A and B are shown apart, each in its own frame.
Chain A
Amino acid sequence: MSKENNITRRKAVGWFMRGSIGVLIAAVVAKISGRSASARLVWQIDPRKCIQCGKCETACVLQQSAVKCVHAIEMCGYCKLCFGYFKPDAPRLDEAAENQICPVGALKRKFIEPPYFEYSVDEKLCTGCGLCVKGCTNFGNGSLYLQVRHNLCVHCNSCRIAEVCPSNAFELVPENKCYLLKEKLPREVS
């Protein structure tokens, strides 16, 4: 009799413990699950905050960073002398490698009509170092800027680049508005 009692008491204690831990977990989940999952959040760079420190190239968990240079062609001045394309001390202003800022030759230029050139980024080559972005932002129209390319990004829970970004330019944006297009952003950071 006493043994039977003992077993049931044990069972009751067990159910009490399970119940209380279960309620605890449920309470935590209920308290924290605020955001709807209809739009997943992904990482993106706010180009207005980016200071082109070059960490995007090296900090990404992928061997080839998911951050690439993109070109807001609407904003481009089609300059013959492009500050994103040529080194400050370029010997000549032509397409030779020693004149280019881009270490991998990912920034291409194409003659349109005098004196205008069209610039485009070869994404396969681009390493996301931001050297061209720096030139273009500081001295040009700022039409070149860095963005996380979402076909390459593996959507880490916590972006490794965001953790080391000195200017906190990384933010989580909804999946359906996953690019912060510079030509469409207001000028000042809100």
Chain B
Amino acid sequence: MQKKIFYCNWRRWLCTAVSATALPAAASSRFPKPQFETDYVPPAVSMPAPEFVAGPLLDLLILFGALCVAVLLVRRIRSRRWILLFGLICLMWFGFVRKGCFCPVGAIQNVAVAAFHGGGVPYAIALFFALPLIFALFYGRVFCSVVCPLGALQEFFIVKPLRVPRAIDAVLRIVPLIVLCLGVVCVVNGAGFIICRTDPFIGIFRQTGALPMLLAGMGVLLIGTVVARPYCRYFCPYGVLLEFCSIVTWKPVQIAEGECVNCRLCVGMCPVDAIEAPRPEPSDRMRGRQFQRFINLLLLLPLVVMAGAAAGYFSGGAVARLHPVVKMVEHWRSVPEKDHDLYPEIEFFKRRGHTLTVAEEQAAVVVNNFRKGCMWSGIFIGAVLGVRMLMLSRLAGLKFHQAGRTRCVACGRCFSVCPSKAKG
């Protein structure tokens, strides 16, 4: 009977309820479960369990094994063909089977969150982050060469690598620093995982995704045909950390097995401009000039750091717009009141009894945090740039061609062209 009355008025009731945006409170007992007269049995609802390709321990062991094999290939077997083949295997496993997630690049953010806010990360993610760095300390960027699926994918798309002019290269190499800082600042302040969102290849690995993401991935691969490994060199935030570690690497990649004859074949072959050409031991006059240059650059260093800090502080406000609360306040101000129901975040905020002033207060705190984070990022970027400039005044001479420690990604192209093979 009651149900029937309700039935007659349900449309009107619905309308009033919608306009009041009724909270879903005390549901579940409006209509009691019927007593069936037939022998009806309700169907079971299946709840499929998550499927992981490998357990965390196996995942780690495979990464460790792959890094070891990469070291073996780069240091002992020294064959471009084997390196390429192993790259294909790693691309298949880490890319298409494991679907690229989680990876050391993205793990930066998990580590940053845990470091700033506590709470910890699973040891698998922590070690995924640390293992390639530790390998870089000993053998250079072997992770980049073939183990990293992003690197391996780009490796296969290098057709005719052009030389990037040094000035452009120097400017573009600031981008990874910015991405690293932005990723950390955003994730620590709760604005999401920017580094994961800007991964261009994840859609390709999953073989599904939003169109812009897939197009971006293909675009990067297309650029990669002429500018080798654009993501690795001019975007990858993890590459920055790997570079830092590989500066002091124990056994850097060796081009010549025997003695280098300075034939310059490797220079033409290197797709990432990593080969350092020989330079003479400086004369006393040169030494003096370089020293003067060093002093000048050292005096410039605090200025660069301060400029970085200022730039960071003033860009903080713009960066903070990545944060959901700041974005919501922006919408709240710009969108007319009647359209607010198009923005569920505003609706939800209102429903909890908050006003615009509360939202603005929250946003102000967020913006302030972003300003602070971006200022520290600016100091960091300024310091790195300053040190990079100081490196310009390097004194030590170099007799033979050698692979630059920070840029070489151990792709092994130079091994195959080097005429100087060890005897026997």
Contact = CB atoms under 8 A, between A and B. Distances in A.
Interface of A: 14, 17-18, 21-22, 25-26, 28-29, 31-37, 40-42, 51, 53-55, 61-63, 70-79, 81, 83, 88-89, 112-113, 116, 118, 120, 137-143, 149-151, 153-158, 160, 163-164, 166-167, 175, 178-179, 181, 187
Interface string B24-45: 1011111111101110101101
B14 interface: yes
B11 A88 contact: yes
A32 B121 contact: yes
Contacts of B133: 25
11 contacts: A18-B249, A29-B127, A32-B126, A33-B120, A37-B124, A40-B52, A40-B56, A73-B45, A75-B33, A139-B14, A140-B30
A84 to B, nearest CB: 12
A151 B50 CA distance: 5
Which among B13, B24, B45 has the greatest number of chain A C-beta atoms within 10 A? B24
B130 A71 contact: no
B215 to A, nearest CB: 14
B119 interface: yes
B250 interface: yes
Interface string B44-60: 01011111100011000
Which among A116, A120, A181 has the greatest number of chain B C-beta atoms within 10 A? A116
A33 B48 contact: no
Which among A14, A37, A120 has the greatest number of chain B C-beta atoms within 10 A? A37
Contacts of A89: 11
Given A77-B30, A156-B101, 14 more contacts: A29-B126, A31-B114, A40-B52, A51-B351, A62-B206, A62-B209, A63-B209, A71-B45, A73-B43, A113-B38, A116-B36, A155-B52, A160-B197, A187-B28
A79 B349 CA distance: 33
A150 B33 CA distance: 29
Given A31-B115, A138-B24, A42 B345 contact: no
A116 B32 CA distance: 12
Contact of A157 (B17, B57, B109, B349): B109
B193 interface: yes
Contacts of A41: 122
B242 to A, nearest CB: 12
B75 interface: no
Contacts of A138: 17-18, 22, 24
Given A153-B50, A154-B206, A18 B248 contact: yes
A25 B134 contact: yes
Given A88-B15, A158-B192, A178-B49, A18 B137 contact: yes
Contacts of B126: 28-29, 32-33
Nearest to A167: B348
Interface residues of B, number: 83
B208 interface: yes
Contacts of A118: 40, 42-43
A34 B48 contact: no
B109 A158 contact: yes
B202 interface: yes
A77 B42 CA distance: 12
Given A32-B120, A137-B24, A166 B130 contact: no
A129 to B, nearest CB: 13
A157 B248 contact: no
A112 B38 contact: yes
Which among A61, A153, A179 has the greatest number of chain B C-beta atoms within 10 A? A61
A61 B210 contact: yes
A155 B24 contact: no
A163 B47 CA distance: 24
Nearest to A134: B24
A61 B123 contact: no
B196 interface: yes
A61 B50 contact: no
A150 B120 contact: no
A187 B29 CA distance: 11
Contacts of B15: 88
Interface string B95-139: 000010110001101110011001111111111011001100110
A17 B246 CA distance: 11
A81 B9 CA distance: 12
B194 to A, nearest CB: 10
B291 interface: no
A45 B213 CA distance: 25
A125 to B, nearest CB: 16
B51 A150 contact: yes
A32 to B, nearest CB: 4
B122 A37 contact: yes
B415 to A, nearest CB: 24
B10 interface: yes
B192 A21 contact: no
A175 B196 CA distance: 22
A163 B45 contact: no
Nearest to A13: B248
Which among A70, A71, A163 has the greatest number of chain B C-beta atoms within 10 A? A163
A76 B33 contact: yes
Contacts of A140: 27, 30-31
A77 B34 contact: yes
B56 A37 contact: yes
